[in-house]
Amino acid sequence: MVAPPVPTVEATAPRTTPVRRGRRRRLTARDILVLSVVVGVTVVLDLALIWGTSVVSVLLSFTNYDGISPIKWVGIKNYHDILTINPEFGTAVRNNLLWLVFLGLIATPFGIFLAVLLDRQLRFSRFYQSALYLPVALSLAVIGFLTQLILSQDQGVVNAILGRTHGNGIDFLGDSRLNIWMVLLFAGWRHVGYIMILYLAGLKSVDPALKEAAVIDGANPVQTFLRVVFPAMRPINVIVLVITVIESLRAFDIVYAINTGRNGLQLLSVLVVDNIIGEASRIGYGSAIAVMLMLVTLGFVITYLVNILREDSR
Amino acid sequence: MTQSLLTPSHAKQTISLGSNYSDPTPKKGIQGMIDAYQSKSGNTVKVNTTEHNTYQTNITRYLQGNPDDVAAWFAGYRMQFFASKGYLADISDVWSGLQGFNDALKNASTGADGKQYFVPIYQYPWGMFYRKTLFDSKGYKPPATWDDLITLAKQMQKDGLTPIGFADKDGWPAMGTFDYINMRKNGYQFHVDLMAGKESWTSDKVKNVGTSFGKKEVGLIVFGTPHVVLQAPTPADVDDSILFPFPAIDPANGVDSVEAPIDGFMVPKKAKNLTGAKDLAKYIGSADAENAYLKVDNSNVAVNSGADTSAYTSMQKQAIGLTQKAKSISQYMDRDTRPDFAQTVMISAIQSFIDKHSPSDIDALCTNIEAQKKSIFANPVS
């Protein structure tokens, strides 16, 4: 996938040879056995459960399989249909992108901001930390139910506070122009806590001497963070970025708990489930959507890996 | 086979029954029916109840995997689909011994190959409901025609009431309203052909339905009787709810069709105890079974003409009045068409109908439904 930087190989070869010699170790027969079992089992499981199923999904996506009838090859018909006549696909893609943008530009930076604040040893810092982290302990499905309790049109807390309880409540979750933003708000609520705790752990590991040096050199807090701490946190930054992307693409449970992902709350994951599971059993068609989701995910993963490998080989 | 030679046919059997009657009242109703069967036949029935949405979602895998001997399901196309796929046992021999079912019921239980695969237990008509006390206090009258309905809805709005009652979170309640407008405007046969994929969704007939629907002219509430009876806070609320037929739109069609889905049971081909399954199916098709069930759950009405109607509530009497006067009985959109079409296309399309207002939006929507229909119906069922 990623070509190693070829020109440097010859140049570095003489230098690395002496280093390697001292590291060579002899493996006993038992070591080899243990290693091959450990690695072998992992590889077999990985091939069977991840690559195997992915390949089968890709193959099924070119068929009209419905779980009962014999499988018939239909070429790219499923993809063509999804891209041309499925009105929900566009909405789902838009919602997944909104999710990514919202988490990436608002929730994640806010979580980092909170982590930096909490790292400054405020009073009651432990209390804030727990309060912000609490939603992470809840599953997103549970948050979906909470969302309903809070925003429901006739029995929701918000409408009760606004005094709109007599059939004139705001339909936060039923209005397809409004509901996605409400869901993002609640998904973001949880995401902020998650990012905060990750980042806080990272901040604790930054050498305080770095910060002290920056302060002595006359940097203000913003400069200290952006110029000194943030670059030093590179491994954590990468993890936070990856988590944000993964959370956006795999989002599913919260909308499924609210209205099974319909009426403005479509997501790619929901379309896959609706087509494959359920009475419809459009397994070929659903697989095609899943393959597209996989391609988007792979896009992010490959970009990430390319970056990492390039930096490491430097 | 050896076993059946050794044990006499009337020996005690164990039969399993897959049920989606998961709400408390229907669950008790099924138990009542099963108790009656057990004491009559001496057989033992093991009821496996699954939450009804889960049951429906998993039906394909259930029938393919390890199904019970008798399984709850719905009449019409939704059953025929699985019969065509070869997952149901032919129970024509049971039907030849059944009495009290009219042709409409028999048709709804018959597969595309002319054999019977289903035994009905009850049905429940959909119609419009209003609160009697409210109508009396305001001096409203139940509308008989579409124009009356619009006048009434406008009057209600003027009086500060919301004339529309829609609950469309799950996607299916609005289908009933669509079906009714369609049948009133275009007739029963058009509904059947449209659902079977023979009529085009881009025809003006469908667009007219969409326009009426989109304008939100539909007032009051369209629901099935169980939704009102089982979910009303008190029995007094039920008595206060009056059911009336969906108003006429085109006089040529009048109010001759009623949407009254039929529920019942089928025997999966993979049933382990086929003899027992058929025996139970035969009992379910009797008036006794319906009486036993409806004694507990009075939100539905019997389909067997031999069933006892003397203890009917006012709601049940109104319901039976509605179905008896009907010339044709439709099932329900998601029961009259292919599940892959109903589940993946129509649910979201109907929700869009509610949101769209302009004729061009409706044109685009209809064109899209038609395109998806062509693609899905291009796959043969069997």
pLDDT at B350: 78
pLDDT-derived band of residue A3, with 50, 70 and 90 as boundaries?
very low
The reply to whether ipTM tops 0.90 is no
Whether the domain at B2-124+262-306 and the domain at B126-259+334-377 fall into the same CATH topology = yes
Per-residue pLDDT, B349: 81
Residue spans of the domains in chain B: they are: 2-124+262-306, 126-259+334-377
Q: Given phi > 0 = left and psi -120 to 50 = alpha, else beta, which region is B165?
A: beta
pLDDT at B49: 93
> In angstroms, how far is the first alpha carbon of chain A from the final one?
18
Q: Pull the structure tokens for residue A73.
A: 């090859």
Mean pLDDT across the stretch B97-114?
86
Per-residue tokens: A5:
């930087």
pLDDT score of B230 more than 80: no
Question: What one-character-per-residue DSSP string does A234-271 give?
Answer: HHHHHHHHHHHHHHHHH--HHHHHHHTT-TT---HHHH
- Quick: pLDDT tens for B157-199: 777 666 655 544 455 667 777 888 888 888 888 888 888 888 8
CA distance A249 to B148: 50
Rounded Cα distance, B127 and B116, in Å: 29
User: 3-state class of B13 per DSSP?
Assistant: coil
With beta carbons under 8 A apart, name residues in chain B contacting A174.
168-169
**Would you say A179 and A265 are in contact if contact means Cβ atoms under 8 Å apart?**
yes
Mutate to test the interface with B, among A64, A260, A281 (most CBs of B within 10 A): A281
> What is the per-residue pLDDT across A128-184, written as a single tens digit (0 to 9) for each?
989 999 999 988 899 999 998 999 887 788 988 888 877 677 888 878 888 899 999
Query: Are residues B379 and A281, on separate chains, in Cβ contact within 8 Å?
Result: no
Q: Please give the domain boundaries of chain A with CATH numbers for all domains.
A: 87-313 (1.10.3720.10)
Q: Which CATH architecture has domain B2-124+262-306?
A: 3-Layer(aba) Sandwich (3.40)
Rounded to a whole number of angstroms, the distance from the CA of B73 to the nearest CA of chain A is 12
Size of the A and B interface in Cβ pairs below 8 Å: 75
Distance CA A96, CA A266 (A): 9
Q: How many CB atoms lie within 10 A of CB B312?
A: 17
Interface of B with A (CB under 8 A): 56-61, 64, 85, 87, 162, 168-171, 339-340, 342-344, 347-349, 351-352, 355, 365, 368, 371-372, 375-376, 379-380, 382
CA A139 to chain centre: 15
State the virtual CA torsion across B231, B237, B243, B247 in degrees, nearest 10: -90
Instruction: Give the integer Cα–Cα distance in Å for A68 and B86.
Output: 9
**Which residues lie closer than 8 Å to A10 by C-beta, 6 or more apart?**
none
A232-285 pLDDT, tens digit per residue, is 888 888 889 988 998 999 899 999 998 888 888 999 999 999 888 877 788 999
**Closest in B60, B343, B380 to A274, CB measured:** B343
Q: Which one is predicted more confidently, B258 or B5?
A: B258
Q: What whole-number distance in Å separates Cα of residue B152 and Cα of residue B221?
A: 13
Q: Determine the Cα–Cα distance for residues A302 and B137; give it in Å rounded to an integer.
A: 69
- Tell me what pLDDT residue B129 has: 76
Return the higher-pLDDT residue of A119 and A18.
A119
How far is residue B164's CA from residue A308's CA, in Å, rounded to a whole number?
58
The chain B residue lying nearest A74, using CA atoms, is: B379
Q: Quick one: how many helices (H) and strands (E) in chain A? A: 17, 0
Name the pLDDT band for A17 (thresholds 50, 70, 90): very low
Please state whether beta strands B126-131 and B220-224 pair in parallel, antiparallel, or not at all (unpaired). antiparallel
* Contact yes or no for B343 and A262 at CB 8 A: no
In the predicted structure, residue A10 carries a pLDDT above the cut 80: no
Phi/psi at B241 (nearest 5 deg)? Answer: -90, 125
pLDDT tens digits for range B279-295: 999 999 999 998 999 88
B139-158 residue pLDDT tens = 788 878 878 877 887 787 77
Phi then psi dihedrals of residue B245, to 5 deg: -65, 150
> B130-157 as b/e, with b when 16 or more CB fall inside 10 Å?
beeeebeeeebebbebbeebbebbeebe
pLDDT, greater one: B356 or B206: B206
CATH of B126-259+334-377, one of 2.40.37.20, 3.40.190.10, 1.20.20.10, 3.40.640.10: 3.40.190.10
The dihedral of CA A35, A38, A42, A47: what is its sign?
A: positive
Which strand (E) or helix (H) includes residue B120? Answer: strand B119-123
Long-range pairs for B325-329 at CB < 8 Å and ≥24 separation?
B325/B255, B325/B258, B326/B256, B326/B257, B326/B258, B326/B260, B327/B188, B327/B256, B327/B257, B328/B104, B328/B188, B328/B256, B328/B257, B328/B258, B329/B104, B329/B108, B329/B123, B329/B257, B329/B258, B329/B259, B329/B260, B329/B262
Residues of chain A in contact with residue B353, where contact means CB-CB under 8 angstroms, are none
3-state secondary structure of B139: coil
Tokens of B270: 């993979």
Lowest mean pLDDT across A135-149, A198-212, B107-121, B367-381: B367-381
Chain B residues whose beta carbon lies within 8 Å of the beta carbon of residue A167: 162
Q: Residue B57: what pLDDT?
A: 81
DSSP state of B304: S
Q: For chain B, give percent helix, strand, coil, nearest 5.
A: 50, 15, 35
Nearest Cβ partner for B57 among A81, A167, A278: A278
